[in-house]
Amino acid sequence: MKALGIGALSQLTGCNIETIRYYEKIGVMTIADRTAGGHRQYENEQVKRLFLIVRCRQLGFSIDEIRTLLSLVDGGNPSCSEVKSVTEEHLSDVQQKIADLRKLEDVLKKMVAECSGTKVPDCPIIEALYAA
């Protein structure tokens, strides 16, 4: 595959150009070589790396979790058990967030059910929010 400029990489991966630059700045993406004119040129391995980063972000992995996964990849011989461990920890966090969202949903449903929706001076939703 021929080297890609940052615009082509952005289009291919769906990752914003500024985000690609940010990933380089924080060291998640390797710094691209530059042409004589100063334009970034991304090689196949960098393209694959960005696809991995983008997919991880879509799945809610934090930058630190992505760094951990990339450090395993960068080591040259990532252990599936190590990758699984990071992913299991992330799954646990996602499950906790889902549980918290379900509790939030229950509270909001209760608040909505207690409100008649008519034009009365005392709104039970506002009163519940004051109490929180």
Q: What is the pLDDT along the chain (132 residues), one digit of tens a residue?
A: 789 999 999 999 999 999 999 999 999 999 999 999 999 999 999 999 999 999 999 999 999 999 999 999 888 777 889 999 999 999 999 999 999 999 999 989 988 888 877 777 778 888 888 876
Helix (H, G, I), strand (E, B), or coil: what is residue 33?
strand
Report how many domains make up the chain.
2
Residues 45 and 98 in one domain: no
Residues 69 and 83 in one domain: no
- Tell me the residue range of the domain where 104 lies: 79-132
Say how far apart CA 73 and CA 23 lie, in whole Å.
17
Say how far apart CA 16 and CA 131 lie, in whole Å.
42
Q: Among 68, 70, 31, 34, which Cα is nearest to 51's?
A: 70
Neighbours of 46 (CB within 10 A): 21
